[in-house]
Structure formats: structure tokens, C-alpha cells
């Protein structure tokens, strides 16, 4: 009887030349079609250019024995560490259950290490650090230097959700170079720590089937094989399978997991799926799914957070590189959030932010977007520092930063094909890749789909800007309950749009606009509490504050 295998996908990430591929080679016993730098350019340059896959198996540990499996298999996803290949890393993020961050103990955290840490926070709840190349440390001071490196890294991780992560000192390829050398050190402890990180959660076959394709090749007389990782649901022989980007559907002819034939696969499995009548040249990286379950779209509402390692501002309508699934396209994001009065104090905000960061990570359900509520347009994505209150705010208790969730109306430069709740990462890849700055600016999850070219759809979004107009009280009635005012509106303005709105004088008197007075733009205001005339030789100002809805194309929908 074939052993039932519990497959766990481990992303192996780190800065270029930190020794990731050597570590994967030392751990691996079964190599897949894409393993260990088979790419000729990889061999020549000595760095990983694509996602590589290999695996090793261990006995099922005690904490997993209640699950319906016989052994535990780790599939190692060797991600490239070079700055120009971060898009490939992001594409690999969605298939990762756990992560090993490989750090060169002689160099510590480097630029791409920080970017990999960001990807890890988005992709997984579980991180293990491999302090590699310990053989390069002087033998007499090795333990002391390793302890010092762990302390320094601990300070970096303290600001992340991996604050208490384990760190293991290893030497994947003592002496370096080509060919066999001394045996690797520290791998037993690394494997033990990895086993302990595996959560005791059974894989779920429920939901529409979703499959991340990373390689495709033809086999003469058999068909075309799609290799990848099951992100959601399950698949059986003879089930229909759609390639949504090609708008093609094919039947599943056969399946293999690491060269062993299987009848079915479920979430988390790494599998090769064979179909017929498909040109392998048409498929590169992408997705396959249950027919009709994955849409193609040009715009979306995305629940977003700023990445705290990103040093610059993320402004509304600025161009970004947007990675959705395996595709990276240009696009722009227009930010909005809850109004000032619906914000939170810093302590509560931090709690809700931590919860929200968890919700936006890949393994959680994205919160449903509420089209019925109103939202305030925002000039930028603010992140952990919060944003300033509205300028009109003068009360002392409203001078603190405002905290609250933010969203973006995202317009893609070309159609993208991705799940309804896909992860999106916004980056500035135009930044210098050799600098020590993080180029990943923001990340989030698609909360709703929308057509940004359709005015009727956009009008469903109740996003407003706060506008202020200032005018002058021209004369006050004898009884002091009304006034004729001017300079607030132009001659051609339809004042009826503002009838019933409140205005406030410079003395704090509150009035209600009753309607136009003549045809020159003057208007009449009723003051229930009375209004005093301006002092001799001076003018009394009054201010109208109102909401203008940015997708009201007739510009006739305003409110207070």
C-alpha cells in the first residue's frame, strides 16, 4: 500500500550568494523537474534564476499523528536571491507554508534579505533562520560570534511577526567550491526545528481547485505536463481543468507526485498533471483551476497596508509595479479609508492593525468590502505612523494621528487573471536594485472586482473629498435671525444644490442656507440662534464645509 504523504512547502529565501541552493542540495533526497539550478545561466553565474523544487521525507512526528498521513514530506522551494528576480520570489510566495531564511553569518541582514523577510511576513506565519557559512568563522571564536549574530538578528526580527523565531547555525557546504567536500553541519537540528513548525492542520479538499503552475513540458506520446502546487481544493483523474489565461479547458489524464503515480491531489500537494491536446509552448508560469472559478479583470478594490521597510511615500495615483499571481504589470492605486471620527486611538489601532495584517496575509480570508458605507479619499498610504487629521480639525483631542483601515481603487495597465481574493504586492522596481533600500512598497488582498472604465460601477463607491468654501456676511436682518451673504458661490452656481447645508461664521454662529438671493451668486442664510452684525469697518466671514463625491460625474451629489 502506498504511504499517505503530508506535503509541506518550505520557501528557502535569502540574499544572493547566501548559500540557499547548497543548503537545499544538502537537505534534498528527491529532485523534481526544476531542482537545484538546472538553468544553464544559473550554473554559469552561480546564482538561482528560477524557482527550484526538491524534497525530503521524515517520519510523521508525534504532534501530527492524529492526521490521516503516514509520513511527512518537505518540498523545498529554492527562491532566487538576486535583486532583479524579486518578482519570481513574489510569485513563489503564494505556495509557501513555512519559510527558511538563509543568512550568511559573516554578513548578516542584506538588502534582499529584508525584501525576503517582507515576502515571508505576507506568505507564512512560520519562519526558521539558517545561519549559514559558520565554517568561515574562526574555530576558536565561532560560538561567541554565532551568539553575537543571533542577538543582532533578534533585534531586527523584533519589529516583525517573527520576533521569537528559532535560529540554527549551519554549514551547508564547508569549504565551498565545486564537487564533494566535508559533510554539512547543523542539518539535523535544522530539520528537527522545521518539523516542530508544521501546524497540525489537515489539508482541505474543499473549495474550487486552484493550482499554481511553475513549469510546463511535453512528453511524446503522453501529453503535456503542468507541474506546480495545489493552492486550494482538490483534483481527481478525468476532472476538467481550465487554463483561464488561455481560455482553454482540458481533462486530467494522469498525475504524479515526485515520480509516483497518484489518483488525486489536495491543497498543499506538489504535483505534475498530464493533459492532452495542449501546446506546452503556450504555458509558462500561471494558474490552472476549476472551470469558471478564476476571473480576468482590469480593476479591483484592494485592502492594503504599507510595508514598513519601504522608506518613501506611496501616493495616490502614482505608478507602481503591481504583482498579482505570477504576473507583474504597471498600474495606479487611489487610496481611501474610514473618516476621521471612525478612527481609533493608537493603542486600539495597533491591535486592529496586527489583526488586519494577519487578514491580509495569504493564509487568511480577506474581509468583505462594504459598498454601502462612505469613505474618505486619502492622498497617500500611511502605514504604522497613522495619518494627520483633517486640516479643519481644531479640537485638541483630534490632533493625534488617525488610524484606520485603508483600501485602494486599483487600475491595471492590462487585464490580469487571478483569484477573487488574490494577493497584490506594489513595488518600485525602478529604484536602484543595488542600493540598500527595500523596493516593496505595499501589499494587500483583492476585496472586490470593479471595472474602472465603467462610470456606473464607480458610482457604487461612495468616496468623498472634504471641500471648504469661504464667503462674507453682507448684511444682517433687523431681527438678527437671517443674513444676506456673498462670495461663497459663483454667479452660475446652482445654489439649490447647497440649500439646507450648515455654514459657520468666524464668530462661531451656525446658520442654514435657505436659497439664492437674486442672480449674482448671493444667498440667504437663516440663523436659528441669531447672528450679530460685523464690527464697523470689518467683514464677518462664514465657512461652508461639505463632502464632494469623487465619482459623481455630474458633480451634483454633495452632502455634509
By CB neighbour count within 10 A (0-12 exposed, 13-18 middle, 19+ buried), where does 311 fall? exposed
Question: In this model, does residue 25 exceed pLDDT 80?
Answer: yes
Residues 511 and 544: beta-carbon distance below 8 Å: no
CA 251 to chain centre: 33
- Per-residue pLDDT band at 396 (split at 50, 70, 90): very low
Burial of 433-466, coded b for 16+ CB within 10 Å and e otherwise, reads eeeeebbbbbbbbbbbebebeeeeebeebbbbeb
Residue ranges, CATH 3.40.50.300, the chain: 5-197
| 248-257 and 240-243 beta bridge pairing | antiparallel
Question: In this model, does residue 329 exceed pLDDT 90?
Answer: yes
CA distance linking residue 527 with residue 514, whole number of Å: 10
Percent share of the chain, pLDDT over 90: 50
Percent share of the chain, pLDDT over 70: 82
Query: Span 284-290, mean pLDDT?
Result: 88
Question: In this model, does residue 434 exceed pLDDT 80?
Answer: no
pLDDT for the residue numbered 403: 63
CATH class of 210-289: mainly beta
Question: In this model, does residue 119 exceed pLDDT 90?
Answer: no
CA distance linking residue 22 with residue 17, whole number of Å: 10
Fold for the domain defined by 5-197: Rossmann fold (3.40.50)
Q: C-alpha grid cell for residue 541?
A: 466671514
Query: Span 468-497, mean pLDDT?
Result: 94
Question: In this model, does residue 21 exceed pLDDT 50?
Answer: yes
- Per-residue pLDDT band at 41 (split at 50, 70, 90): very low
Question: In this model, does residue 49 exceed pLDDT 60?
Answer: no
CA distance linking residue 141 with residue 38, whole number of Å: 37
- Put residue 330 in one of left, alpha, beta given phi > 0 → left and psi -120 to 50 → alpha: beta
- Per-residue pLDDT band at 401 (split at 50, 70, 90): low
The per-residue pLDDT of the chain, averaged, comes to 83
pLDDT 10s digits, 64-108: 999 988 999 898 887 764 444 455 556 556 778 899 999 999 988
pLDDT for the residue numbered 405: 83
Question: In this model, does residue 35 exceed pLDDT 50?
Answer: no
Least confident of 8-22, 76-90, 471-485, 517-531: 76-90
Question: In this model, does residue 201 exceed pLDDT 90?
Answer: no
Query: Span 552-560, mean pLDDT?
Result: 82
Question: In this model, does residue 393 exceed pLDDT 80?
Answer: no
Most confident of the ranges 21-25, 283-287, 300-304: 300-304
Residue ranges, CATH 2.40.10.190, the chain: 464-559
Query: Span 50-67, mean pLDDT?
Result: 84
CA 46 to chain centre: 30
pLDDT for the residue numbered 182: 60
- CATH code, residues 296-461: 2.40.30.10
Q: Which CATH number fits domain 464-559: 2.40.10.190, 3.40.50.2000, 3.10.20.30, 1.10.10.10?
A: 2.40.10.190
0.85 exceeded by the pTM? no
pLDDT for the residue numbered 80: 63
Question: In this model, does residue 366 exceed pLDDT 70?
Answer: yes
pLDDT for the residue numbered 43: 38
Query: Span 286-315, mean pLDDT?
Result: 91
Helix (H, G, I), strand (E, B) or coil at 560: coil
Residues 409 and 392: beta-carbon distance below 8 Å: no
Residues 104 and 37: beta-carbon distance below 8 Å: no
Query: Span 171-175, mean pLDDT?
Result: 83
- Per-residue pLDDT band at 244 (split at 50, 70, 90): very high
Question: In this model, does residue 46 exceed pLDDT 70?
Answer: no
CA distance linking residue 160 with residue 163, whole number of Å: 6
In terms of pLDDT, which residue wins out, 387 or 190? 190
pLDDT for the residue numbered 116: 77
Residues 223 and 253: beta-carbon distance below 8 Å: yes
Question: In this model, does residue 249 exceed pLDDT 90?
Answer: yes
Residues 118 and 218: beta-carbon distance below 8 Å: no
Query: Span 282-310, mean pLDDT?
Result: 91
Query: Span 100-122, mean pLDDT?
Result: 82
Tell which residue, 214, 348, 187, 350, has the closest CA to residue 272.
214
Helix (H, G, I), strand (E, B) or coil at 340: helix
Tell which residue, 498, 469, 514, has the closest CA to residue 558.
498
- Per-residue pLDDT band at 536 (split at 50, 70, 90): confident
Q: What is the DSSP letter of 23?
A: H
- Put residue 363 in one of left, alpha, beta given phi > 0 → left and psi -120 to 50 → alpha: alpha
Most confident of the ranges 18-22, 49-53, 169-173, 432-436: 169-173
Query: Span 33-43, mean pLDDT?
Result: 38
- Per-residue pLDDT band at 203 (split at 50, 70, 90): confident
CA distance linking residue 539 with residue 506, whole number of Å: 10
Q: What is the DSSP letter of 403?
A: B
Bridge partner list, 256? 261, 272
Residue ranges, CATH 2.40.30.10, the chain: 210-289, 296-461
pLDDT for the residue numbered 179: 46
Amino acid at each position: 500500500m502506498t504511504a499517505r504523504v503530508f506535503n509541506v512547502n518550505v520557501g528557502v529565501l535569502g540574499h544572493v550568494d547566501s548559500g540557499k541552493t547548497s543548503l537545499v542540495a544538502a537537505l534534498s533526497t528527491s529532485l523534481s523537474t526544476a531542482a537545484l539550478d538546472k538553468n544553464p545561466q544559473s550554473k554559469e553565474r552561480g546564482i538561482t534564476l528560477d524557482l527550484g523544487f526538491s524534497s525530503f521525507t521524515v517520519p510523521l512526528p508525534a504532534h501530527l499523528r492524529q492526521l490521516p498521513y503516514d509520513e511527512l514530506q518537505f518540498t523545498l522551494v529554492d527562491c532566487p536571491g538576486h535583486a532583479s528576480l524579486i518578482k519570481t520570489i513574489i510569485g513563489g510566495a503564494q505556495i509557501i507554508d513555512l519559510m527558511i531564511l538563509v543568512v550568511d553569518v559573516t554578513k548578516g541582514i542584506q538588502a534582499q534579505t529584508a525584501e525576503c523577510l517582507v515576502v515571508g511576513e505576507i506568505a507564512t506565519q512560520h519562519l526558521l533562520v539558517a545561519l549559514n557559512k559558520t565554517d568561515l568563522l574562526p574555530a576558536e571564536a565561532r560560538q561567541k560570534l554565532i551568539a553575537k549574530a543571533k542577538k543582532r538578528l533578534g533585534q531586527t526580527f523584533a519589529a516583525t511577526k517573527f520576533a521569537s523565531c528559532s535560529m540554527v547555525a549551519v554549514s551547508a557546504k564547508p569549504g565551498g567550491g565545486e564537487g564533494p567536500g566535508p559533510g554539512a553541519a547543523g542539518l539535523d537540528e535544522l530539520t528537527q526545528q522545521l518539523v516542530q513548525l508544521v501546524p497540525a492542520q489537515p489539508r482541505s479538499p474543499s473549495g474550487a481547485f486552484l493550482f499554481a503552475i511553475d513549469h510546463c513540458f511535453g512528453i511524446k506520446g503522453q501529453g503535456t505536463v503542468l507541474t506546480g502546487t495545489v493552492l486550494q481544493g482538490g483534483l481527481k483523474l478525468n476532472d476538467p481543468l481550465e487554463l483561464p489565461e488561455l481560455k482553454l479547458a482540458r481533462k486530467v489524464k494522469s498525475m504524479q507526485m515526485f515520480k509516483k503515480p497518484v489518483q488525486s491531489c489536495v491543497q498543499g500537494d506538489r504535483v505534475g498533471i498530464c493533459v492532452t491536446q495542449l501546446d506546452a509552448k503556450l504555458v509558462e508560469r500561471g494558474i490552472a483551476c476549476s472551470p469558471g472559478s478564476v476571473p480576468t479583470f482590469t480593476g479591483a478594490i484592494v485592502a492594503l497596508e504599507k510595508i514598513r521597510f519601504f522608506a518613501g511615500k506611496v501616493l495616490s495615483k502614482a505608478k507602481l509595479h503591481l504583482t498579482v499571481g505570477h504576473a507583474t504589470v504597471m498600474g495606479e492605486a487611489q487610496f481611501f479609508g474610514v473618516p476621521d471620527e471612525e478612527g481609533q486611538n493608537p493603542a486600539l489601532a495597533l491591535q486592529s492593525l496586527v489583526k488586519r495584517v494577519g487578514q491580509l496575509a495569504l493564509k487568511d480570508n480577506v474581509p468583505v468590502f462594504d459598498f454601502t458605507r462612505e469613505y474618505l479619499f486619502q492622498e497617500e498610504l500611511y502605514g504604522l505612523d497613522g495619518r494627520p487629521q483633517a486640516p479643519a480639525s481644531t479640537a485638541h483631542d483630534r490632533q493625534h494621528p488617525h488610524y484606520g483601515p485603508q483600501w485602494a481603487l486599483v487600475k491595471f495597465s492590462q487585464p490580469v487573471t487571478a483569484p477573487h481574493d488574490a494577493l497584490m504586492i506594489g513595488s518600485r522596481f525602478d529604484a536602484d536594485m543595488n542600493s540598500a533600500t527595500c523596493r516593496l512598497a505595499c501589499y494587500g488582498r483583492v476585496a472586490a472586482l470593479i471595472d474602472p472604465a465603467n462610470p456606473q460601477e464607480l458610482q457604487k463607491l461612495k468616496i468623498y473629498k472634504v471641500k471648504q468654501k469661504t464667503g462674507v456676511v453682507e448684511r444682517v436682518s433687523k431681527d438678527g435671525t437671517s443674513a444676506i451673504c456673498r462670495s461663497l458661490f459663483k454667479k452660475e452656481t446652482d445654489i439649490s444644490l447647497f440649500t439646507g447645508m450648515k455654514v459657520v461664521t468666524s464668530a462661531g454662529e451656525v446658520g442654514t442656507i435657505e436659497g439664492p438671493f437674486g442672480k449674482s451668486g448671493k444667498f440667504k442664510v437663516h440663523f436659528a440662534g441669531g447672528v450679530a452684525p460685523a464690527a464697523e469697518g470689518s467683514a464677518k466671514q462664514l465657512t461652508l464645509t461639505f463632502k464632494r463625491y469623487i465619482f459623481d460625474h455630474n458633480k451634483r451629489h454633495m452632502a455634509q
